[in-house]
Amino acid sequence: MRTHLKIGSRESALAVRQAQIVKEALEKASPGLTIEIVTMKTTGDKILHKSLEKIGGKGLFVKELDRALLNGDIDLSVHSLKDMPMEIPKELPVIAYTNREDPRDALILKPGIQDLKEGGIIGSSSRRRSLQAGKLYPKCSFKNIRGNVQTRLFKLEHEEYDATILALAGLKRLGMETCVSRVFSVDEMIPSAGQGILAVQGRKGEKIPGIEAVDCSDSRFAAKAERGFVRYLNGGCTSPVAAYAETSGNEIRIRGLYYHEESGQFEAGMISGEKHKGEILAERLARSLKGRF
């Protein structure tokens, strides 16, 4: 049985905190196990002046960690599931999906601003968020903003933004939710697939002590349904496609959003059924929404 592990993480405070969550769960489940966190800067973290869709997508946040995992420099990597590309190497499977943190999106106003007014500028690097927020704030405009949580909040305060939108899960994990001005319901703004869930990657066939204590079956059901919805629509990291699944007992309810590039319009819908059929239901919903155009 292994007694020491290395967990790979991006360098941001949020990424490190997420790795710590997994580290603490593994150490609690396997007394005597020691774990160190190894951080590295990814290509996606280095290039902040361009939108993700122009520089290659979400894979830029994981490829350095994938390489380190394949080379044996680390034993596990921890990612926000929403930041992972749809295609995951077969030799580096997701071996655990953590208990989900709050999946909703949150609006943060510039310090000193009480409310968004006509002509307000919302910083968002996500077309998914911009499309849905555009319905809620039709008299506001959107401007690209990139970087980790602290970087975006710094830009919000010092640059020409009146507000920004961030995942509530990350703010809660950092203990920064007091800066939130409004939390959007999952009906107002359908989250990114996997938002709030941490994905733990390992090498195929390797046994990791205590990993069963990290894995949450409801998160796994939800993750597979949400990512199945996006995958059917060929939605990558930058595609304005959204999916959110909730489980209750043996049931699953899936919300989805599909954007039609040619018309510039989007449609949202919902489907429910038995949770072990989540991926089938998600594909059915995706097909239905796509068929409306």
**How does DSSP assign 57-69, residue by residue?**
-GGGGTHHHHHHH
Q: Do domains 1-99+196-215 and 105-183 have the same CATH topology?
A: yes
Compute the average pLDDT of residues 36-52: 65
- Confidence grade of residue 239 (pLDDT, cut at 50, 70, 90): low
Residue 131 tokens, joined? 């499309």
pLDDT at 117: 93
The CA distance from 104 to 184, in Å, is 6
- Is it true that domain 216-293 has CATH number 3.40.1010.10? no
**Residue ranges per domain, the chain?**
1-99+196-215, 105-183, 216-293
> Exposure pattern of 103-137 as b/e (b: 16+ CB <10 Å)?
bbbbbbbbeeeeebeeebbbbbbbbbbbbbbbeeb
The larger pLDDT score, comparing residue 226 to residue 47, is at 226
Residue pair 255/190 in contact (Cβ under 8 Å)? The answer is yes
The larger pLDDT score, comparing residue 46 to residue 203, is at 203
Counting residues of the chain whose pLDDT is more than 70, the rounded percentage is: 91
Average pLDDT, the chain: 92
pLDDT of residue 113 exceeding 70, the answer is yes
pLDDT at 59: 53
> What is the spatial order of strands in the sheet that 251-260 belongs to?
242-248, 251-260, 265-274
Residue pair 197/219 in contact (Cβ under 8 Å)? The answer is yes
Compute the average pLDDT of residues 106-115: 96
pLDDT of residue 192 exceeding 90, the answer is yes
Q: Which residues pair with 77 in a beta bridge?
A: 8, 201
The values of phi and psi at residue 35, to 5°, are -135, 135
- Confidence grade of residue 55 (pLDDT, cut at 50, 70, 90): very low
Residue pair 270/285 in contact (Cβ under 8 Å)? The answer is yes
Compute the average pLDDT of residues 207-211: 95
Compute the average pLDDT of residues 111-140: 95
- Confidence grade of residue 62 (pLDDT, cut at 50, 70, 90): confident
Level-2 CATH architecture, domain 105-183: 3-Layer(aba) Sandwich (3.40)
pLDDT of residue 160 exceeding 50, the answer is yes
Which among 75, 83, 105, 162 is annotated as catalytic?
83
Compute the average pLDDT of residues 43-63: 53
Locus of tokens 């349904």: 225
Level-2 CATH architecture, domain 1-99+196-215: 3-Layer(aba) Sandwich (3.40)
Does the annotation mark 83 as catalytic? Answer: yes
pLDDT at 42: 66
pLDDT of residue 234 exceeding 70, the answer is yes
